[in-house]
Structure 1
């Protein structure tokens, strides 16, 4: 959240839906921060450094929202800070800024699943039950999931995402 506004001016939770929004002119998280405007939730209690973990949720990006990260797997080796970022750019969902994962995403609910296998060093992205991307993770020893809106390059003036049914699952492999 921008440091100079109350949480209720950039986040709401009504009828099971998390709604996040920021403006490109908002202030950063704290007065001494150099981060871009954001309103997001870090899912606490599920930090991990091994195993297979899954983020699952139904997301919505309204028409016009662009230049924003809506979900991420935090934790990577420098110079990166994240293993994965799902961005919304001009009506598409992208892995970081490219490649495009799914076109024509504005104005509809979608199911996003991200599976991070630490030992196999990969991350898989599923949209509406279909695998749309697989990538090598970017190192680090500790990870966690975040979702909401976090301003990136070429942002729209107003950025919003909505989420419902968000869950984190630790996947178990049979012996």
Structure 2
């Protein structure tokens, strides 16, 4: 009986894991598509590094914004350029890693909305990966690589978030506008003294 239950459990888990990119076409990404935003008064290498294809971002609550004419919170992010969109179905894929202690930070976003600034934000609070402040997508996210797929259907005003191939969020978007993808660290409420995320194998798809 125990063996049977284990087989049923493993089969159920396997059946829930899918490849969200099926039916999508990948776009070409190069270094020119990765625009780094960091506190305006420091050098890039003081808040960002890339080694063996792993992008590492960190920022502090005392840091400046990414430009001197904005009052937005500190960030070190990559803004994917060259693929801004206003219609269609687009998808971001990447593997993220958040070290323990990082909290109060957005690590990935679908920028653009109406009347909101964003359509989707993935945030870290106390070791949980959340969609904005709620719901929790995945608890105990620290110190491991996890795969993120974020699908934005502009016409249907729909957002789907997959974590490790499992659909964790399927809900309404936040209005049409010019959209693009970002990833890194962008401070939110009650940030930790140092926030960090790492990303690799970044891809963008469209339908």
Q: How would you bin the TM-score normalised by the shorter chain?
A: over 0.9
The equivalent residue for 2:112 is 75
2:102 equivalent to 1:65: yes
1:8 match: secondary structure:
helix
Q: 1:103 aligns with which of 136, 139, 153?
A: 139
| Aligned with 1:133 (options 160, 169, 172) | 169
* 2:14 pairs with 1:9: no
In 2: Cα distance, 1:138 partner to 1:161 partner: 25
Indicate the residue corresponding to 2:92 in structure 1. 55
TM-score for the superposition, normalised by structure 2: 0.81
What is the CA–CA distance in structure 2 between the aligned matches of 1:65 and 1:30, rounded to whole Å?
A: 24
Point out where structure 2 has 5 or more consecutive residues left out of the alignment. 1-37
* 4+ long deviations beyond 6 Å: none
Tell which structure's C-alpha radius of gyration is larger.
Answer: 2
Aligned to 2:55: 18
SS at match of 1:28: coil
What is the alpha-carbon distance in structure 2 between the residues aligned to residue 52 and residue 28 of structure 1? 31
Q: Equivalent residue of 1:47, what SS?
A: coil
TM-score, L = length of structure 1: 0.95
Q: How many pairs were matched up?
A: 170
Corresponding residue number in structure 1 for 2:74: 37
Following TM superposition, by how much is the alpha carbon of 1:126 offset from its aligned partner in structure 2, in angstroms?
0.1
The 1-side partners of 2:62 and 2:133 are apart by 21
Whichever structure has more helix as a proportion of its residues is: 2
- Alpha-carbon RMSD across the aligned residues, in angstroms, is 0.8
In structure 1, runs of 5+ residues without a counterpart are none
